[in-house]
Structure 1
Amino acid sequence: MRDLGVGFRYLLKGQRWVARHGKQYGFGLLPGLITLVLYVAALLVLGLWGADFVGWATPFADDWSSPWLGLFRGLLTALLFALGLLLSVITFTAVTLLIGQPFYESLSEKVDRDVSPDGTAPESDLPLWRELWISGRDSLRIVVRALLWAVLLFALGFVPFLGQTVVPVIGFMVTGFFLTEELAAVALQRRGVELRARLALLRGRKTLVWGFGTPLGLAFLVPFVAVFLMPGAVAGATLMARDLLGEETREDGGAETPEAPPRPSPSIGRNGH
C-alpha cells in the first residue's frame, strides 16, 4: 500500500515542476484548451439532441401509454448523456496528448534533463510523423480497452447495491490505470517501450499507478480542471516512468537549471527489452 502514497507524490511533484517552469506550463495548456472546446461542443450537441436520438432509436415505444413512454425515454436519455460524459473523461487524455504531442514531448524531455544526474534525456530516433502514428495507434488501442471496461461497468451499474457501491470504485480505479498509461506513454514511448511492455510495467506496480491516476481521474470530473492539470500530470508521469524503469533521479530536481545539450542515453528498445 506504500506505493499508493508514492504514486500520489509523483502527481504532486509534477504539478510543482510545472509551477516552477511557467513557460512550459503555458505551452502545455494549449492542447487541453483545444480539446476542451471540442468536447464541450460534443456534449452540448448530445444534451440538445440526445432526446431526439433516443426517440429515433426506440420506435417500438411510440405507442406506449403515459407515463411509461416518458419515463423510459427519459431514463435512456440520461444514461446516454452519462455514458457520453464517462467516455469524455476516459478519452480526454488520449485526444489531448495526440493533439499536443510536440508540446508534451518537449515538456517530458525537459523534466528528464532536469532530474537526470548527468542532465541528459533519452531521445527518440523516429521522425515526428512516425511518433504521431505510433501515439495515435496506441491511444486507439487503449481507448478500445477502456470502452470495453466502460460498457461492462455500465451494465453492472444496474445490479442492486453492487452497482451503487463497488462498481463506481472499480470504475475510478480502471480510469486511473488507463489515464496513467496514456500519460506515462509520453516518456516511455520516447525510450522505445512499446504498448505491451508499458502495460506490463504498469500492471507490475498497480498500487503505484492507482495512487497516481485515480486522484487525477477524480479531479478530471471537475469542469476545466483537466486542462490545468495536464502539463503537471505529464511531468509527474515522466518522473514515475523513471521509477518504473529504475532510472536514477536527482531528488533536488525541479529548480530552474540551464539546459544541457541533448545526448543519447541507453534506452529500452522497441521490442520492450
Structure 2
Amino acid sequence: MREFLTGVRMLGRGLSLWRRIPGTMALGLVPAAIVGIVLFAGLVALSFQLPSLAEFVTPFADGWPGLWAGVLRVAVGTAMLGAALVLIAISFTALTLLVGEPFYDRIWRAAERELGDAPADAPYGFWRSVGDGVSFVVRGILIAIAAGLLGVIPVVGGFAGAVGGILLTGWLLADELSSRALSARGIDRATRRALLGGNRARTLGFGVATQLCFFVPLGAVLIMPAAVAGSTVLARSLVAPEPIAAAERRPEPGSAQGPEQAS
C-alpha cells in the first residue's frame, strides 16, 4: 500500500509543477481540450443510442418475459458503456499525446530541468512513437472487451468490470505516459516494461490516480499536463530512486530553509 500511495503522490508532484512552470503546463491544456470535446460528443451520442444498441445485440431476448429481457438489456447497455469509457480513456491519451506532441515534449523537458540532472535526450523517433501508440490502442481495445464481458456477469458484473477496467487502464496509462522519459534515457520497450513490472504497486498508484481524475468532469483536460510531468517523476524514480527522494526533500524556491540550513 505504501508503494501504491507513493505512485499517487507522483501525480501530486506533477500537479505541483503548475506553481513552478505555469506557462509551459498551460500549453498542455490546448490539445487535451480539443480531443476531449470530440470524444465527449461521441460519448453523448453513444449514450442516446445505448437502448437501441442493447436491443440490437440481444435479439434472442425478444421472446423473453419483459422483466428478464429488460434486466439483460440493462446489463448489456451498462457493459457497453463501461467498455466505451475504457476505450475513451485510452483514445484520449493516445490522441492527445499525438496531437500535442510539441506541447508535451516541452512539459517533459521543463519537468526534467525542474527535477534536476536532466538526461541526455536519446532519440525517440517518429516510428517508435507510432509503434508505441498503436500498441497502446490495441491493448486498450482488448481491455475494453474484457471489461465489457465482465460487465454482463449477473449481480457483480458492473463492479467487477469497473474495477478491472480502471486497474488495467491505469497500468496502460502509466506505461504510455512514462515512455518518453524512459526512452530518453536509452531504455527500450522491453526494459521499460520490466522496470514498471518490478515496481507494480507504484506504477498502479500513479496510473489509477490519473485514470480516476479522467472521470471527473473536465478532469482529463486539466490533469493531462500534470500527468505528463508526474510520469517523469515516476520514470526517474524507477531508474534512480535516491536522487528522486533527495529532490522530494529539496525546498521549493522561496520556501523557508530547514533548521540545519538556518543554523
> Shorter-chain-normalised TM-score: which range?
0.7 to 0.9
Aligned-residue sequence identity (percent) comes to 34
Where 2:82 maps in the other structure, the secondary structure is helix
1:122 — aligned with what? 120
- CA positional deviation for 1:54: 4.6
Match of 2:217, SS state, is coil
Give TM-score, length-normalised by structure 2.
Answer: 0.81
Structure 1 Cα separation of the partners of residues 213 and 136 of structure 2: 20
- Conserved 8 A contact 1:115-1:254: no
Give the conservation status (yes or no) of the 8 Å contact 1:18–1:235. no
1:271: which partner in 2? none
- Aligned ranges for residues 141-160 of structure 1 at < 5 Å? 141-160=135-154
**Counterpart AA for 1:22:** P
Work out which of the residue numbers 133, 151, 161 in structure 2 matches 1:139: 133
1:87 shift after superposition: 1.6
Q: Alignment partner for residue 181 of structure 2, among 168, 178, 187? A: 187
In the alignment of these two chains, the number of paired residues is: 250
Higher relative contact order (CA 8 A, sep 6+): 1
- The one-letter amino acid paired with 2:193 is L
Once the 2 structures are TM-superposed, how far is the Cα of residue 108 of structure 1 from its aligned partner?
0.7
Q: After superposition, what is the alpha-carbon deviation per residue over 1:231-273, rounded to whole angstroms, capped at 9, x for unaligned?
A: 11111110111111127346238659xxxxxxxxxxxxxxxxx
Q: Which runs of 5+ in 1 are unaligned?
A: 257-273
Contact 1:181 1:199 in 2 (8 A): yes
> 2 CA distance for matches of 1:59 and 1:19?
56
Name the structure 2 match of 1:262: none
> Mapping of 1:66-77 within 5 angstroms?
72-73=72-73, 75-77=75-77
Q: Distance in 2 between matches of 1:168 and 1:49?
A: 21
Q: Indicate which of 203, 211, 219 corresponds to 1:225.
A: 219
1:13 aligned residue: 13
Equivalent position of 1:235 in the other structure: 229
Structure 2 residue ranges without an equivalent (≥5): 255-263
Q: Is the 8 A contact 2:82 2:148 kept in 1?
A: no
TM-score by length of 1: 0.78
CA-to-aligned-CA distance 1:17-36 (integer Å, 9 cap, x gap): 12321101210111110110
Separation in structure 1 between the aligned mates of residue 71 and residue 106 of structure 2, nearest angstrom: 51
Tell me how far 1:89 sits from its aligned partner.
Answer: 2.2
Q: Is the 8 A contact 1:186 1:234 kept in 2?
A: no
Paired residue secondary structure (2:28): helix
Greater alpha carbon shift after TM alignment, 106-115 vs 166-175 = 166-175
**Within 5 Å, which residues of 2 pair with 1:1-273?**
1-57=1-57, 72-73=72-73, 75-117=75-117, 120-125=118-123, 130-131=125-126, 133-160=127-154, 163=157, 168-246=162-240, 248-249=243-244, 251=247, 252=250, 255=253
Question: C-alpha distance in 2, partners of 1:115/1:78?
Answer: 43
**Structure with a larger share of its residues in helix:** 2
Instruction: Give distance in 2, aligned partners of 1:152 and 1:69.
Output: 23
- Counterpart AA for 1:140: V
Contact 1:105 1:187 in 2 (8 A): no
Query: 1:65: how far off?
Result: 7.2
Shift of 1:148: 2.1
CA-CA distance at 1:115 after TM superposition: 1.7
